Structure formats: C-alpha cells, structure tokens
Amino acid sequence: MDLNGTNFLIVGRAGMDFYPDPPGTRTEEAERFVSCLGGSSANIGVALVKQGCQAALVTRVSDDAIGRFCVNQLDHYGIDRTHVTPVGGEARNSLAVVESRIEDHQSVIYRNGAADFEMTTADVEAVDYAPYSALITTGTVFAADPSRTAAFRAFELAQATGMPLIFDIDYRPYSWTSAEFAADVLSRAGEMCDCIIGNDVEFGFMAGDYDRGLDKARSLAAEGKLIVYKMGEKGAITFAGGEEIHTGIYRTEALKPTGAGDSFMGGFIAALAGGHPVKDAVLRGSANAAMVVARVGCAPAMPTTDELEAFLADHPGPEET
C-alpha cells in the first residue's frame, strides 16, 4: 500500500467524551466530569496530526452547543473541518461517559438519533479527493443510512482517484439492527479496502464464525491487502507482501481500556507515511496504544512524535509472542 504523502481524509464521527474526575471515580459517584473531543474518526485524526500528518474530517454534527464544542475541538487540534456540516432537527451528537479505571470499568454511549449518521452522498461528493494520501474510516459509519450509502460513495470516489482505502472494522453491536446485516455490510466494505485493521473477534465476526477470524484475515491478505490482526495481550499478526509478521505489545500501567484502537491506527498510519517498514509501523502503533490507555481521555491522550520517541527509548520493548 503506497500512501504517497501525509495528508489524510477521514470519514466518520466527532463526539464529546465525559470522564469522571479524578481518575478512578465511578460514574455514579462523580461530582465533576472532564470533557474532551471523542469519536473514533476524530480521535484518529488527532493521533495523526500530533505525529506530523495532516487530517481532514467528513461528518455531520448537531447544530447546537455540543456540535459546536466538537467543531471547536477540531480547530484546537488542527483538523481540517471544511466538510464537517451541522444538522438541525432532532439529530444529536454522540456522547460517551467513560471511566478512567480498569476494574469494573463502565462506558455508557449515547447514540440515539446520532448526527453523524445524517451524513449524505452530497457531503462526500463535495470533497476534492485529489490532495489526499488515503481515505480512512471505521465500521461505525456503515451502521445506518444515509451515512452508510454516503460512505460507500466516498469509497467509490476515492478509488477513482487511486487513493488507498484504510478500514478499521470497529464493530459495535449497539449501532446495528442485526449481527447478520452488520457482517454483510462490513464484509462488503472490507472487500473494497487496501488495508484492514481489526481484532480477532471482529475478523471472526466478518467470517461468520469466531473461530475462523484468522482464516478470514489470511484470505483477505491473499487478495493483496495489508491486514493487521490484533489479539489483545497476545500482540498482533500483520499480513503484508506475503509475510506474516508477529509482534508483541508494550506493557504499561493502564488507566482505562479505551482509546487503544484509535491510537494504534493513528500511530501505525503516521509511521507508514513517514517511511517506516511495516513491522516498525505496527510496533509504533502498539506503543501509541500503550501510551493512550495510561492517560485520561482519548484525543488529549494521543502522544506527539517526541513523546512517542521518548517512550520507545525508555521502554524495555514489546513482549515477544
């Protein structure tokens, strides 16, 4: 997969995250919360920008104070929001209430009438795809229409310019009407993409059998796709150019379980764009993930390049798988 640059177009949501403060507080016992930018696509954009890339987001936000908060946060992090469109009516921005704790961790996600699902084909057709190195998205955009139709249209338009398509499966059951429908749609999306990232459960889900996730990853890799098959504490298997590359994880004192996938994606793609070999890119993505789960928040927790380099220099290294 040839990226040919460091300017990325990301399709998907920006939301608001609330974290009970101080860290370790249970949500029902909280007296105050810290707010920050959230949403998988926005988080990926922040991760990329903090590591020297450019990122533009295509989505819809609610035409209210919460939507404007998200837009202001995109500006704060330097993400191009030319194609972030407010939508009125009953549409509301997604909200996540996420605890900074591992034991008995609770995350509550509000996605009813989600504004980002109102993204239309007109939104993606208004984009000039020529300046971008790749299109990045996550499976959430395909969970409902008109967003699903718009995302597939964005894939077509990106492919027409020769842009690689990078896809994080990111299966979230609460967003879908049925598991069977989700498996069909996500499989169709994956077939169009040049790079697919997911965990063992997600690949198993796409295969229709949780015990056949690795077989699914191998079959997609046989089509020439770059595949990262993540296995939690067991590390990852990356399929690239006919090779199977096994990598471990960076141990850390985790504060929360959330944000790892978005930070991995940002670190991995930024490393590829910076000319790192695939194995090094996977390891840098893994280090990114280790850093984020040890910090409060997702977007504000994404490390800069200097922070990542310092972590890699001080850490004893990934555990072997």
Q: What is the mean pLDDT of residues 176-187?
A: 90
In our burial notation (b when 16+ CB lie closer than 10 A, e otherwise), range 200-220 reads bebbbbbbeeeeebbebbbeb
pTM exceeds 0.85: yes
Confidence at residue 186, expressed as pLDDT on a 0 to 100 scale = 93
Could you read off the pLDDT of 227-283 as tens digits, one per residue?
999 998 899 999 999 999 999 999 999 999 999 999 999 999 999 999 999 999 999
Q: pLDDT band at 208, cuts 50/70/90?
A: confident
Q: Which residue has the higher pLDDT, 71 or 2?
A: 71
- pLDDT above 70 covers a percentage of the chain that reads 99
Say yes or no to pLDDT of 1 above 80.
no
Could you read off the pLDDT of 85-127 as tens digits, one per residue?
999 999 999 999 999 999 999 999 999 899 999 999 999 999 9
CB 308 within 8 A of CB 47: no
Confidence at residue 318, expressed as pLDDT on a 0 to 100 scale = 84
* Torsion 137-187-239-314 (CA) sign: positive
CB 84 within 8 A of CB 61: yes
Could you read off the pLDDT of 278-301 as tens digits, one per residue?
999 999 999 999 999 999 999 999
Confidence at residue 24, expressed as pLDDT on a 0 to 100 scale = 95
Q: Which residue has the higher pLDDT, 176 or 194?
A: 194
CB 74 within 8 A of CB 61: no
Q: Give the single-character DSSP code of 233.
A: G
Instruction: Find out whether the peptide bond into 22 is cis, omega within 30 degrees of 0.
Output: yes
Instruction: Report the relative pairing of strands 95-98 and 33-38 from DSSP bridges.
Output: unpaired
Distance in angstroms (rounded) separating the CA atoms of residues 122 and 280: 38
- pLDDT above 90 covers a percentage of the chain that reads 88
Phi, psi (deg, nearest 5) at residue 223: -85, 5
* Secondary structure in 3-state letters for 94-122: CEEEECCCCCCCCEEEECCCEHHHHCCHH
E-state strands within 122-162? 134-138
* Torsion 276-279-282-287 (CA) sign: negative
* Torsion 43-108-290-245 (CA) sign: negative
Could you read off the pLDDT of 14-60 as tens digits, one per residue?
999 999 999 999 999 999 999 999 999 999 999 999 999 999 999 99
Instruction: Report the relative pairing of strands 134-138 and 7-11 from DSSP bridges.
Output: parallel
Q: Which two tokens stand for residue 319?
A: 């555990």
How far lies 259's CA from each of 23, 31, 155, 205, 297, in Å?
A: 15, 24, 25, 21, 8
Average pLDDT, the chain: 94
Confidence at residue 320, expressed as pLDDT on a 0 to 100 scale = 65
Confidence at residue 321, expressed as pLDDT on a 0 to 100 scale = 55
Distance in angstroms (rounded) separating the CA atoms of residues 291 and 283: 12
Domains, the chain, with CATH or none: 7-314 (3.40.1190.20)
Distance in angstroms (rounded) separating the CA atoms of residues 302 and 113: 28
Task: Please tell me the number of Cα atoms within 13 Å of 153 on its side-chain side.
Answer: 16
Residue 235 burial class via C-beta count within 10 angstroms: exposed 0-12, middle 13-18, buried 19 and up? buried
Confidence at residue 275, expressed as pLDDT on a 0 to 100 scale = 94
- Give me the amino acid identity at 39: G
Question: Which residue, among 222, 242, 226, has the nearest Cα to 285 in the 3D structure?
Answer: 226
Q: Which two tokens stand for residue 227?
A: 């595949």
Confidence at residue 209, expressed as pLDDT on a 0 to 100 scale = 83
